[in-house]
Structure 1
C-alpha cells in the first residue's frame, strides 16, 4: 500500500485543497478503510465556506463507504468485520461513558467525536474509524449508493420521530436529498397523501419524476392552503420541516392539523422568531412538536442504520436518482465550489475513488 494518499484538506474558511498527505494508520480498536465513495452533505458546504471547522487542517466528509484494508494493533473485527469487508461508516463516535451513552442515546452524547467535522473524514483515499462504527454492506449493494446510508438513516429517524400511521397525510418542507428520502420512507410506512414543498423548481421536478407525491412551489402557491386541501380542510397529520429557515419552520406549524405532529430537522442558519399568530396556533391546535437530530444505531429497538442498508440494497429506498453528480476525488474542490455557487442543480454529489 502507498504511504501517501490524495485527500481534500480544509486549511481555513473556504480554503480547501486536493493534496498528497500521509496515509493514516489505525490505532487500537480502529480500522483503516480504503474509501470507495464519499457523498457531499448539504452541511459540508457551509462548514467549508461559511461557518468554519472546529480545527484546521481537517479532511471533511461524513457520508462514507469503503473496504477495510487493515486493523489496528490488537483489534479484532468481529464476525462481520475483517480485512476485505465492504462497509458503511457511522460518523458519530460516542464517548461511551456519559449518561446518554449508558441508555443508548448516542446522538445525545455529551462528549462525542464526529468524522468529517471534529476528526478527519472520508474525502480522502483512506480513512481511519473505530471498528464499532463499521457496518458490512449487504451483498450486491453498490458502494456509491451505500455512501448515502447516513442521510437515509437520518431521514428514517425523522420519520420515526413523527410517528407515521397508515393513511396519514404528510407534508415535507424541503426537497433536498433528505426531503426526498423522507418522502420514500413515509410512503413505505403507509402515508397515502404526500405533499412536498420547496422554492426550487428543479428539485420539485425531480420529486415529480420520482413520483414521490404532490409538489408545491411556495413562491407561487401557499403551502398552508395546499396542506389544508390535501388534509380534508384540516391540514396535514404530520409535517416534517427539512429546510431550516425561519419561514419554513413557521409554515410547518401552520400546515399541521389540530392535534397534529410537527418534526423540525432543518438546521437554521439564523435566529428564528415565530409570529404571535403562529404561536397561538401551536397552543390552540395542541400540536406535538419534536426535533430530529442524527440517527439511532443501537442494536434494538431503533437501529436505523441496518434498516437503511437493507432498504438500500433491495432499492425499496432508491437513491440512484438523487446522485446527480459522480466526481473523482481529485476534482472534489471544484465540485464543492460549484455547490457553493449553486452553479448547477444538485441533489447529491458523490466523490469516488478509482
Structure 2
C-alpha cells in the first residue's frame, strides 16, 4: 500500500472547512460586522488500514469535535482520546491496536472592526501496536489533528504576523483570499522548529487555516509500539498600516504628544505641544535619525506636522526638547510601515 502523505490526509480536514468558510463571509455580513472573526476549533482523531483486503477496522471511537469561537476574547478548548482495533479476516493472530489523543485551546480578540490577535495551543499523540510487526498483512495508521479555520475581516490595510513553534509533528498555516480562496501566504514547519511569516493585507475578508498533526503507522517489531507525540503553538497578530508599535517612550512625553498612527495617504505624522512647552527653548524633531524640523520658542497647543515620511519601512520619530533651565529631555515613538 502506498501511504498518502500526512498533509494530504490529516490537514485536509481543516482545509476543507476553511474553504467552506468563505460562504460564511458572503452570507452573514451583519454577523461579521459584530464579530470580525468567526471560526471553528477542530480536534480530530482517525484510524485506517490497508494492505490485505481482509484487513479492517473493527472497533473505532475516533471522530472530531468542532466548537465555534469568535473574537470575543473567550478561550475555547476541547480534548479527546480515541482507540481502534484492526483485524485481519485471513489471520486471527494478526491484530493491531491503535490509540490517539488530542487537545487544543484557541482564543481571538478584536480591535474595532478588525481581527487583533488569535492564538492556538495544541497537543497531539498517537500509538500503534501490531502483534506481528512487519509480518502483519495490515498497514495501519493513527492520525491526529488539531487546527482552526476562521473567516476574518480587516477594516484597514495592515500587517498580519504569523508565528509558530512545534516540538515534533507538523505545523502548517495559510491565509486565503475569501473571494477566490487564493493562497496568500503562510508557512509549514516540522520536527523541532519555530517559524514566522509577515503578510501585508489590504482591507477586506480572508480565511485563516492552522493545522497541527502527527501520524503513527504499523511498527517494525512484533508487539512493539510506534508512538508519535507533539506540542505546538501559533500566534496571529494584526497591526494596521502606520500604527504605532507602542506608547511614546522618554521623559519628554509631558512636553509633546505624538500621534497614535502615521497618516499613510499623506505620509505624515503630527505632534502637539502641551502647556509645558512654554518652558522650552527649542524642540527638534528627527525622523529615523535625520533632523527634519526645529521649533524655536515653542508655544502650548502648537501642532507640528512632519510630512514626506520615508517609504518602504517603519518610521521612528524622536523629539529632543531643550528647556530654558535644566537638562534636555527626549520622547520617541515608532510606527510600522505603511506598505
Per the normalisation by structure 1, the TM-score is: 0.22
Normalized per residue, the structure richer in strand is 2
- The higher radius of gyration belongs to 2
Normalized per residue, the structure richer in helix is 1
Structure ranking higher on relative contact order (CA contacts 8 Å, 6+ apart): 1
